[in-house]
């Protein structure tokens, strides 16, 4: 649940009426997750465990979806390096698959319990976390209250708060203070985010930078990458990634406008792969020949678009292009993470609606790696310019690499902030085997 949705839910039912909130919380959560849940594991949403709790200290880390999960992979690995068990909860099948793909057996995974007392209490009774970490803007009122009652520290890491959510929280300042004041620590992405959390009643608040910058570049299968590169040959290519409804149509328009001049291949990666059938139908209707990754279709000389309809292969798609348009920025609001394309050597293009990643875009635009486009026509012109101007394209790519180096260090800052909570668990984890063997 985003901070904005929490604010709306509380505002709708009143602080005294948070007792009413549990009646709506599961409905909101289930509606939001419709079509995105693993039915075989639905009992986990009601707090029933599907794995054994390991012995020793355990940190519960909740990441709502794919972006948040990827952001904290280095943090989870650092906790495991200290011999601390990590329980990761997520809300969607996609994020669960990403966690399994990236982390394999390094951490335990469960679906997050619904924010109702029976589910949360059942979950906490079984897992008994020593510390609870939430990522970015995940604030669940019932869970927060239950953790506070049990004296379990809850810490918000890589925290951010959008303009809209901040305005909503401000309208209910007393509620915000009552909730956010129960957080043990907020580790914010930027000075702006930190100041907003302080204004809303959170304390203490420190700034780490964006931990996503410290993530490894998304991996790919080198055999598949080599095969696709051979099939593409000398053709020019660009990618439209993390696209939302309407942006695939814009990418298709860009392709139609440019293909006669450049003979390009377009790589389109929708944010929600389950929409791929309708996306392909739209593209075919507009005269495109589409290759789909899930069908393992080859890229032939007359292929117009490679439709990246798989999960966990962003590293593959971005390595096929040197220009990347990042979606949820023209036909939807908020933007998506521009750091991965910058990290993998792409010149970054985006629409203007990037409020969720403002700090990252400001840095990339200022350093010359990213450009903002207003509409489909401006996007087509930018793609054409970069595709036909090697010097300008490589200058943007180099600027992105430099920006990534400048922005690193958030993981170190985050771990330093967590030391008072994590260091005792490290000592406990490393002493327990000795104690057991002596017993």
The long-range contacts involving 377-382, CB below 8 angstroms and separated by at least 24 positions, are 379/250, 379/254, 379/325, 379/330, 379/349, 379/351, 380/253, 380/254, 380/257, 380/258, 382/349
Torsions phi, psi for 374 (to 5 deg): -90, -30
Q: Which of the residues are catalytic?
A: 68
Q: What is the sign of the dihedral through the CA atoms of 347, 353, 356 and 361? A: positive
Pair 45, 112: CB distance under 8 Å: yes
CA–CA separation, 103 and 107 (whole Å): 7
Cα angle 426-432-435, degrees, rounded to a multiple of 5: 145
Pair 26, 118: CB distance under 8 Å: no
| Other C-beta atoms lying within 10 Å of the C-beta of residue 408 | 14
Pair 283, 252: CB distance under 8 Å: yes
CA–CA separation, 331 and 374 (whole Å): 11
Token couple for 140: 């669940």
């Amino acid at each position: 649940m985003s901070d904005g949705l929490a604010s709306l839910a509380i505002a709708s039912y009143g602080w005294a009426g948070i007792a009413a909130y549990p009646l709506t919380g599961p409905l909101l959560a289930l509606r939001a997750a419709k079509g995105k849940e693993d039915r075989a594991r639905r009992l986990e949403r009601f707090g029933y465990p599907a794995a054994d709790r390991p012995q020793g200290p355990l940190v519960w880390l909740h990441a709502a979806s794919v972006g948040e999960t990827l952001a904290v992979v280095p943090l989870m690995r650092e906790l495991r390096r200290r011999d601390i068990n990590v329980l990761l909860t997520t809300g969607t099948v996609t994020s669960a698959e990403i966690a399994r793909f990236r982390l394999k057996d390094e951490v335990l995974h469960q679906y997050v319990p619904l924010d109702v007392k029976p589910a949360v209490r059942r979950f906490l009774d079984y897992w008994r976390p020593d510390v609870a970490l939430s990522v970015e803007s995940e604030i669940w009122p019932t869970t927060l209250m239950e953790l506070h009652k049990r004296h379990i520290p809850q810490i918000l890491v890589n925290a951010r708060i959008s303009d809209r959510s901040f305005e909503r929280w401000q309208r209910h300042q007393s509620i915000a203070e009552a909730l956010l004041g129960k957080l043990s620590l907020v580790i914010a992405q930027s000075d702006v985010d930190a100041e907003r959390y302080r204004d809303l009643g959170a304390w203490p608040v420190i700034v780490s930078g964006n931990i996503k910058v410290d993530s490894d570049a998304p991996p790919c299968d080198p055999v598949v990458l080599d095969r696709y590169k051979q099939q593409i040959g000398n053709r020019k290519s660009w990618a439209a990634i993390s696209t939302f409804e309407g942006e695939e149509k814009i990418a298709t328009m860009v392709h139609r406008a440019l293909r006669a001049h450049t003979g390009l291949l377009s790589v389109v990666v929708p944010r929600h792969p389950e929409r791929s059938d309708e996306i392909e139908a739209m593209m075919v209707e507009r005269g495109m020949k589409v290759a789909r990754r899930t069908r393992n279709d080859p890229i032939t000389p007359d292929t117009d678009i490679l439709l990246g309809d798989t999960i966990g292969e962003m590293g593959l798609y971005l390595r096929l292009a040197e220009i990347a348009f990042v979606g949820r920025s023209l036909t939807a609001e908020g933007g998506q993470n521009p750091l991965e394309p910058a990290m993998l050597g792409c010149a970054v293009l985006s629409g203007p609606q990037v409020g969720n990643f403002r700090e990252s875009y400001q840095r990339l635009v200022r350093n010359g790696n990213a450009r903002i486009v207003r509409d489909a026509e401006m996007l087509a012109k930018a793609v054409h310019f970069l595709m036909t101007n090697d010097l300008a394209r490589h200058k943007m790519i180099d600027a992105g690499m430099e920006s990534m180096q400048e922005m690193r260090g958030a993981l170190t800052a985050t771990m330093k902030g967590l030391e008072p909570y994590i260091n005792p668990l490290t000592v406990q984890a490393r002493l327990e085997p000795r104690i057991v063997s002596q017993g």
